[in-house]
Amino acid sequence: MGQSIMSRFWISRFWPKSPKARRRLTLFLVIAPVVILAAGLALFALKDGVVYFYSPAQALEAHLPLGKPIRLGGLVAKGSVIKGDNGQLSFRLMDKKASLTVVYQGSLPDLFREGQGVVCEGALIGEHVFKASLILAKHDEKYMPKEVTKALKAQGEWRPDQNTGNSQ
């Protein structure tokens, strides 16, 4: 009986007296949990599909687990591109603080060359070795992906005379 009095007190005190307000509150109380559940399920489903961007120094500092898919961006070190007999390619991807060896099997973008910015998708397979499944190169002389630009600026490697995204 004590619970009945408490529940009546709660309902009479907090439940709206107006039928229109009761309808709105009921609709909100039904829809809000459904929306929260849908958002939670969407975020859970996307968890494995998210690919994070790192510069070589950030990737080494983050101590990423081997095999975790990431995007790695930086500049291709001059004199580091080595083409193997079996079509495998390796090169050093660098920023001002660190560099990683990237190994790749496949066709390269036409604009891939030493000294230019690239973004590689793949995973770390060793302490300083990254296996790329996809390599993206700059579109033209003035374009560099925003993430690469930000990472290079943060490390003081940014050369605005060569890598600006602004057209003049």
Q: Where along the chain do its domains lie?
A: 2-47, 51-163
Instruction: Give the per-residue pLDDT at 141.
Output: 54
Report mean pLDDT in 10-residue bins for the chain, 168 residues: 61 78 90 94 79 85 88 92 88 92 90 88 91 83 70 73 44
CA angle 73, 140, 105 (to 5 degrees): 50
Instruction: Give the per-residue pLDDT at 7.
Output: 65
Instruction: Give the per-residue pLDDT at 161.
Output: 56
The fold adopted by the segment(s) 51-163 is OB fold (Dihydrolipoamide Acetyltransferase, E2P) (2.40.50)
Instruction: Give the per-residue pLDDT at 115.
Output: 86
What's the pTM value of the predicted model, to 2 decimals?
Answer: 0.59
